[in-house]
Structure 1
Amino acid sequence: MNRQDLPLNLSSSARRVVRCAVAWAALAAVPLSGCAGDHVKPSYSKSSVEPVVVTKVSDSTLQVQFEEPAESMYYAAGISYVVEADTMKIVIDRCPISGNCATMLRRHIVPGPPKPAVQDIPLLAPRVVMLFADSEEQVFP
């Protein structure tokens, strides 16, 4: 909206309200897929979760195995993903041991001695890329 489009008799505070309403309307028009991309923000570096092994379990499922980093206040809670064109981008979600945690696919954690973490994920694209805090790598095929 241009300044000349607003009636001249509006006060500056009324114009500010109108501009704010227009800005909120523009934000509401953002597609939901853009919001999903914000959720797949990598926290772990590649070296902190290596080796990462991805195995095709079925036509619709992959199994991701990785080394869970030893942390006292956080843990690898699960995996989140976004699909863009023919690529599925995945991240290992790092969550606090107490408090809220947002992850799409929560990992089942088995108590006991340390062993590699295992997570099944849906296969939603022909190409799967894992995003790390310091790089990205195609992990399937």
Structure 2
Amino acid sequence: MSRDFAATWLKLTSLFIVLLGLIVALGAHPAVSLPATLLADAVFWPFDGAQAIDTQAARVLAAIGGGVMVGWGVMMWLIIDRLLPSDPKLARLMMIEATFAWYLVDSSSSFVSGASVNVLLNTLLLAAIVLPAWRIGAVRVATAG
């Protein structure tokens, strides 16, 4: 995997996270909460319509969680776009360490709450971030010295 391909992949992944965050944030308003409700239903498999984002507490958590995801996606984009060219080791460290921190908290909490499907989805997203991030740092560090 070339550095340019890895960087492009990570930028696309960051856009995916931003879009997913916007979907989650839509759960804050009942009139547009269907996409977030379907997502919640999917991670509590089976897909049966049993989950709903229909309380004030669930709505505010959707707003907060969606906002955090949007911010995380934007930060990833900026790390790859602005920091990677000047400090690839730091960019790689930030991407990998922050992703593992998110993964451990999100996946263990999802498992405890009964949303085991989310652990699988998180594992796919972890791989989509960590594998190319590992590669961009390794390629850049090897050619810099």
Which fold has the larger relative contact order, with Cα–Cα distance below 8 Å and residues 6 or more apart in sequence? Answer: 2
Instruction: Please indicate, yes or no, whether the TM-score normalized by the shorter chain is above 0.5.
Output: no
- When normalised by structure 1's length, the TM-score is 0.25
Higher share of residues assigned strand: 1
With structure 2 as the length reference, what TM-score do the two structures score? Answer: 0.24
